[in-house]
Amino acid sequence: MYDPLHDRLPGENEPYPRSYWASVSGKPEETLSHLASDITTDVLIIGAGYTGLSCAYHLAKYHQINPIVVEANQTAWGCSGRNAGFVLKSSGRKPYSQMLSEWGEEVMRGIYDEMCEGVATVNSLIEQGIDCDKQENGYIKVAHKPSEFTKLKEAAKLQQQMFGYDIEVMSQQELALNYMDDKNAFGAIRYRDGFGVNPLKLAWGYQKLAQRAGARIYTGTPVIDWGESARSSQNQVIYTPKATITAKKIVIATNGYTPKGFHVLTNRRTLPVLSQIIVTEPLTQEQLRACNLLTSNVVMDTRALKYYYRKLPDNRILFGGRGAISGKQAKDPYYAKRLLSVLKTSFPSLHDIRYQFAWSGWICMSLDDLPHVYQNKSETVFYSMGYCGSGVSFSVQAGKRMAEKVAEKSVPNLPLYNQALPEFPLAPMRRIGQWGYFQYGKIKDKWF
Ligand SMILES: Cc1cc2nc3c(=O)[nH]c(=O)nc-3n(C[C@H](O)[C@H](O)[C@H](O)COP(=O)(O)OP(=O)(O)OC[C@H]3O[C@@H](n4cnc5c(N)ncnc54)[C@H](O)[C@@H]3O)c2cc1C
């Protein structure tokens, strides 16, 4: 499998992975093709996931700039077409309590507002007619230990006080009775505003909106090089296998799929980490009753190495967690089987259940646990990345803010938008650091 820390190309016109989403979503309304002849544009966007498509849509719709989008493989071939489809009011991994102590209340509230706007933006785009199998509202965070339930209740209290956030607190028994009888849960909190979607259909919907607004999208068109001579000229020259693109401004929207050494602005500033998903065969009514799995709310636990799951519209369970460390090991069935065995500890009555789909994808970690939308000094190259595995809603907001930057409009003065991604110290050893974190996480989740 493509490994962004080792490979310089994510592929060329690769098909979608054999995910559940690719199998149930049919086909996008329009088939796209590769760029076959040289072209000049004001803005070139690299990557057709949520970030790139949102940036394209907002540029064309609100700033009278019709960009070109190039995608190495298929629309949403990266994370956007293979994620778990949890639309949450959050991104990154930095707790609000830490933001408060580092930056003060105004900045913390500003970031919270951006996260809220992210979900609102997704909702407003869906309302334009995107059929993405949106499920009922609700995001349940389960405590995997009694001590974590105490922490969850404290966090809920803080968020209620700070933001007036409407959060339900549930004991182990209430959770089992009203939502699902998860044997690994020791109480939970429930946010009323997260929800699940079909992520691939969502991306195809964004593609249609962006095209209708005036963006042109080419798939099977990887950027393979940045022109040497371009550095001295005002325009930049970008090479793809069959054509050259000359652009005034370039947007890098490649997140966890950014190839090795792609651009000096992003090199050494991200850590791609594999997240793995399995989807089971459909549960029978009897199996659903045995787990008391009444809800289609999206569920995540409190572990450092998190597990997440949801019941899909056809009564299958999607279950996810960490995957392999390198691309070479990504397809080893060990990782899918490990998820299945954890699922069975949550729902022992499913002891015979099998999984029918298993795949993984590269999430994009940043050193400071925050996504960043930033640019070079001359404001000709922009990027947005580092959603840390939680980008379904915020990548759309980030794409919108990046469009504002490209169009030379002001954006909120927040670390999300006014700071570059920090560089990883000892960047060549990022994978060793990740392995170390996994070992720490295993110990923390079990013993502390
Ligand atoms: C298994 C998994 C589960 C997840 N679940 C959730 C979830 O439930 N909720 C949530 O909020 N987040 C989730 N995420 C994260 C979320 O999917 C991402 O944050 C989001 O999709 C990022 O979108 P993007 O457009 O920035 O990047 P991507 O969708 O990854 O798009 C980047 C694109 O750039 C293209 N590209 C790379 N290099 C080049 C090049 N040289 N030339 C042209 N194109 C190039 C790639 O082919 C790719 O299609 C999950 C991620 C994974 C992997």
pLDDT in tens, 376-386: 999 999 999 99
Residue 84 in contact with ligand 1 by CB distance below 6 A: yes
For the whole prediction, is pTM greater than 0.85? yes
pLDDT of residue 170 exceeding 60, the answer is yes
CATH of 139-192+272-365, one of 3.30.70.100, 3.30.9.10, 3.40.190.10, 3.90.960.10: 3.30.9.10
- Domain segments of the chain as ranges: 1-133+197-263+368-423, 139-192+272-365
Q: What is the CATH number of domain 1-133+197-263+368-423?
A: 3.50.50.60
Strand pairing category for 244-252 and 381-385? parallel
| pLDDT band at residue 448 using 50, 70 and 90 as cut-offs | confident
Q: Is the CB of 395 under 6 A from ligand 1?
A: yes
pLDDT of residue 232: 53
In this prediction, residue 443 has a pLDDT band, given cuts at 50, 70 and 90, of confident
Is it true that 1-133+197-263+368-423 and 139-192+272-365 share their CATH fold?
A: no
pLDDT of amino acid 436: 86
Choosing from 2, 257, 279 the residue with most ligand 1 atoms within 8 A of its CB, the one to mutate for a pocket test is 257
| pLDDT value, residue 66 | 98
Residues 22-45 have pLDDT tens digits of 999 999 988 899 999 999 999 999
Residues whose CB is less than 8 angstroms from the CB of residue 245 and which lie 6 or more positions away in sequence, other chains included: 35, 38, 39, 40, 41, 44, 68, 70, 237, 238, 239
Please say if the pLDDT value at position 435 is more than 90: no
d(CA 117, CA 222): 31
Answer yes or no: is the C-beta of 85 below 6 A from any ligand 1 atom: yes
Ligand 1 contact, 394 CB (< 6 A): no
4 within ligand 1 shell (Cβ under 6 A): no
176: pLDDT confidence band, cut at 50, 70 and 90? very high
> What is the pLDDT confidence band of residue 230, given thresholds at 50, 70 and 90?
very low
DSSP E strands in 253-354: the ranges are 271-280, 298-301, 308-311, 317-322
What is the torsion angle, in degrees rounded to the nearest 10, for the CA atoms of residue 259, residue 265, residue 270 and residue 274? -20
- Answer whether 253's CB lies under 8 Å from 76's CB: no
Span 55-97, pLDDT tens digits: 999 999 999 999 999 999 999 999 999 999 999 998 889 988 8
Helices (H) and strands (E) in the chain, counts: 12, 18
Q: Does residue 228 have a pLDDT over 50?
A: yes
Q: How many angstroms separate the CA atoms of 363 and 2, rounded?
A: 13
